[in-house]
A and B are shown apart, each in its own frame.
Chain A
């Protein structure tokens, strides 16, 4: 009997994987653009089957709180490198939208934080610790000299197979990154944090362009 074909991209899109297998596949979406495209191919095609799910009636008032003023903090989202391409269009939206009228909710549940140890796949460098304060959404990440001269280290979160830029790391000093609410949903146990090496200013596109030098799954602190 011949070996089974490698269908990792399809298995990830199907949702068949869990644990370390899933984390490995998610990491590969970061480091291997062809693999990421293959995952997308499967997502797009499998979506054709979604019409078969029978409908079910949800509560009518479920989304009453969505978009209420307290939820609007995310309009403050800073311009991350990935957003630069869309900056002009985004700026139009930002100025045309009503400004935030209330401070962030103070009723955030007393959630524990999340931590990750970002390690090089070959163990060549000391792991870099990252701590996420779930209430504020801030990430603190230890200082590292992982980026060579003339390059920067960029932090990503991989969730649903999609990398999202979180920000650039300060060389040899701890970095604190405010995470926009839109990205915060990706910061949950099982998501993977990753550091890639990018040109000064960060990746010019929405995915890493340089090598991924360290990764680690988020776990409850």
Chain B
């Protein structure tokens, strides 16, 4: 996800302002918010749903939810895209749990999350909280980190993760739980 506006601070302020206007039923603001954020949110929907038409349905549902819930959005230290992106990810996971695309199916169009070095600009713009999470992820065993990242970005269940990795489910569960446990302790300690 690159930033929708050239300056990340401006983007953040703009999205917060638009959410406040959407919260008082401003449809023009909803259109602006869509133009500013939909490609980032659609990327999430497409990656998890794996089908363009399903991802479009889910994105529509996401904006319907934003329209209804924007008045409950409280600007916090977290980036507003975290709030929006979490809605998109959760709705997409709901969709696949209900109508299930299989994980073995090839991705239609969704881009792959890079496994290599992250974009240096993105690294520079990380918040302190984000940097702590990434530092802690780096400390995990490679197999733990890989299992958690795959499950997170593709929205996979344990069974699907086991299938994708070709590893018995109990082993995958064990890796994930130990990785999550270590991550929890690390993020809190720092």
> Is A bound to B?
yes
Chain A residues near B (Cβ < 8 Å): 4-7, 10-11, 14-18, 22, 43-59, 62-63, 66-67, 71-72, 74, 90, 93, 96-98, 160, 181-182, 185, 188-190
A contact face: mostly helix, strand, loop, or mixed: loop
Cross-chain contact of A51 among B23, B81, B98, B174 (Cβ < 8 A): B81
B124-140 interface code vs A (CB 8 A; 1 in, 0 out)? 00110110011000000
Q: Are A16 and B24 in contact (CB under 8 A)?
A: no
Q: Are A97 and B25 in contact (CB under 8 A)?
A: yes
Q: What residues on A are CB-neighbors of B109 within 8 Å?
A: 56
Q: What residues on A are CB-neighbors of B89 within 8 Å?
A: 15, 50
Q: A16-B151, A56-B46, A62-B59 are in contact. Are A48 and B130 (CB under 8 A)?
A: yes
Cross-chain contact of B78 among A5, A44, A63 (Cβ < 8 A): A44
Q: What residues on B are CB-neighbors of A44 within 8 Å?
A: 78, 82
**Whole-angstrom CA separation of A10 from B187 in the bound complex:** 13
Q: Are B151 and A15 in contact (CB under 8 A)?
A: yes
| 18 contacting pairs across A/B (C-beta < 8 A) | A11-B177, A15-B89, A15-B156, A17-B157, A48-B129, A49-B133, A50-B86, A52-B122, A53-B40, A53-B153, A55-B39, A56-B43, A58-B56, A58-B59, A59-B56, A71-B64, A97-B24, A98-B25
Cβ of B102 within 8 Å of any chain A Cβ, yes or no, is: no
How far in angstroms is the closest Cβ of chain B from A137? 13
The winner among B82, B134, B159, B187 for most chain A CB atoms within 10 A is B82
Cross-chain contact of B43 among A54, A160, A181 (Cβ < 8 A): A54
Q: What residues on A are CB-neighbors of B42 within 8 Å?
A: 55-58
Chain B residues near A (Cβ < 8 Å): 1-2, 23-25, 27, 30-31, 34, 38-40, 42-44, 46-47, 55-56, 59-61, 63-65, 67-69, 71, 78, 81-83, 85-86, 89-90, 93-94, 97-98, 109-114, 118, 122, 126-127, 129-130, 133-134, 148-149, 151-153, 155-159, 161, 173-174, 176-178, 180-181, 183-184, 187
Q: Are B184 and A15 in contact (CB under 8 A)?
A: no
How far in angstroms is the closest Cβ of chain B from A50? 4
Q: Are A5 and B39 in contact (CB under 8 A)?
A: no
Q: What residues on A are CB-neighbors of B27 within 8 Å?
A: 66-67
How far in angstroms is the closest Cβ of chain A from B34? 5
Q: What residues on B are CB-neighbors of A59 within 8 Å?
A: 56
**Whole-angstrom CA separation of A96 from B71 in the bound complex:** 14
Q: What residues on A are CB-neighbors of B81 within 8 Å?
A: 50-51
The winner among B61, B65, B97 for most chain A CB atoms within 10 A is B97
Cross-chain contact of A62 among B63, B86, B148, B177 (Cβ < 8 A): B63
**Whole-angstrom CA separation of A133 from B53 in the bound complex:** 26
Q: Are A52 and B153 in contact (CB under 8 A)?
A: yes
How far in angstroms is the closest Cβ of chain A from B125? 9
Q: Are B93 and A11 in contact (CB under 8 A)?
A: no
Q: Are A188 and B98 in contact (CB under 8 A)?
A: yes
Q: Are A189 and B122 in contact (CB under 8 A)?
A: no
